[in-house]
Amino acid sequence: MPEKTKITSAWQTALTQLDNVAKIMMLTEDVHQLLRNFERILTVSIPIRMDNGSLRVFNGFRVQHNSARGPYKGGVRYHPELTLDDLKALAMEMTWKCSLVGVPFGGAKGGIICNSKTLSKGELERLTRRYTYAIMPIIGIGKDIPAPDVNTNEQIMAWMMDTYSMNNGYCTPGIVTGKPVNIGGSLGRTDATGLGITFTIANAIKSKKMNFKGLKVVIQGYGNVGSTVGKLLSEMGCKIVAVSSSKGGVYNPKGLNHNALMKYYKEHGSFENFPNAESITNASLLELPCDVLVPAAMGNQVTKENADKIRARLIVEGANGPITPEADQILKERKIPVIPDILANAGGVIVSYFEWVQDVQCYFWCEHEVNAKLNNILDRSYEEVFQLSQEKKTNLRTAAMILAVKKVVDAIQVRGLYP
């Protein structure tokens, strides 16, 4: 089934990962084809009135990959370079992520091509509300539940929830996750992805018989995910030796102070000239000697060009798709274990699921309960992936993909083909 159109690397990565496991699992051609394709892709145009009185039309999408195991679930991204191919890759990855950790959702992703940083608050609100209205026919509590992603946040989720509720005729908190807590958001959601990554690192450290104390950690991207990991690992006695933002990073082999980093970034908008640290580029940060490398920024950061130069003992994928398939192969040959994104960063979607469950039941849990349930799911998922990788003598990504794809295939098969 060769693709006829030119495809971007994120989508290529997603397809290659699926094709590789399809071969190992000896999937039938029928099922393989179903999984390579999408149940629905909606393109919408979003006209809004700008503050200066002019009218501007933006383009938006909602991509629904597979709903064999449950309603679609996935974030909404606002980015000037967003492409439909990116969203296809991310939606497919959501199907595998939900399946792997046993969350009863399928995969989706959406977004708008826009530079949200150049829009006023009013323009951003009008854009969000009109986008929500445009995708309303295909979203719903039992249909498709959006969430925040890059450049969207709980305020944007609140506008989405309000727009849907107004059109629906009654308050419908369960339509989105990642909302503010006072309108049905879940305690623990903001830190869930970073906390999940920390639980997963703890499991990997245990199985590699490494010691937590003094562990040297490098984090690319010190945003919501990266900085939560940095904070939690610092509290556990690890040394955060390097961090970065899109403008570059800083390195100190003796360790950086998390609170000082956060304060400095808030004041200066970058880590440039952070005291007692060496300035480094994002590319050189990836090649620093360390125990754990957490790429928590963008996709396709470790490629065949730099995979040979990685000096980490363990890589934990905080971002979605930060390692290309060619780089994955090189790391496998170099025996550098990689905890794949669909396991490592699943904390976000797990707590999003908890949020949805709480909204549907109108019964809310304390943060301790949320975190304990998250820990249970991630411990179980890590154990399943680790055991299968040992059994099949394969890397953790392949094991995770086999487990995830199998549950989706089983659901497709038992449901049968309509009509």
List of residues contacting ligand NAD (CB under 6 A): 149-150, 193, 220-226, 244-246, 282, 296-298, 318-320, 345, 348
Q: CB of 194: closest distance to ligand NAD in angstroms?
A: 8
Q: CB of 345: closest distance to ligand NAD in angstroms?
A: 4
Cβ proximity of 18 and 342 under 8 Å: no
Q: CB of 348: closest distance to ligand NAD in angstroms?
A: 3
Choose between 165 and 306: whose C-beta lies nearer to ligand NAD: 306
109 is catalytic: yes
Cβ proximity of 327 and 307 under 8 Å: yes
Residue whose entry in the numeric block shows the structure tokens 């195991």: 69
Phi-psi region of 173 (alpha: psi -120 to 50; beta: other; left: phi over 0): alpha
Cβ proximity of 194 and 217 under 8 Å: no
Q: CB of 323: closest distance to ligand NAD in angstroms?
A: 12
Cβ proximity of 147 and 111 under 8 Å: no
What per-residue string of b and e applies to 283-318 under the rule 16 or more CB within 10 Å gives b?
A: ebbbbbebbbbbbbbbbbbbbeeebeebebbbbbbb
Choose between 78 and 131: whose C-beta lies nearer to ligand NAD: 78
**What is the rounded distance in angstroms from the CA atom of residue 324 to the CA atom of residue 304?**
8
> If we measure between CA atoms, which residue out of 163, 160, 181, 168 comes closest to residue 110?
160
CB atoms within 10 A of CB 85: 18
CB atoms within 10 A of CB 262: 14
Cβ proximity of 336 and 312 under 8 Å: yes
Q: CB of 169: closest distance to ligand NAD in angstroms?
A: 31
Cβ proximity of 214 and 237 under 8 Å: yes
User: In 240-280, which residue ranges form alpha helices assigned H by DSSP?
Assistant: 258-268
Q: CB of 212: closest distance to ligand NAD in angstroms?
A: 23
Among candidate residues 73, 97, 109, 179, the one labeled active-site is 109
Active site residues: 109
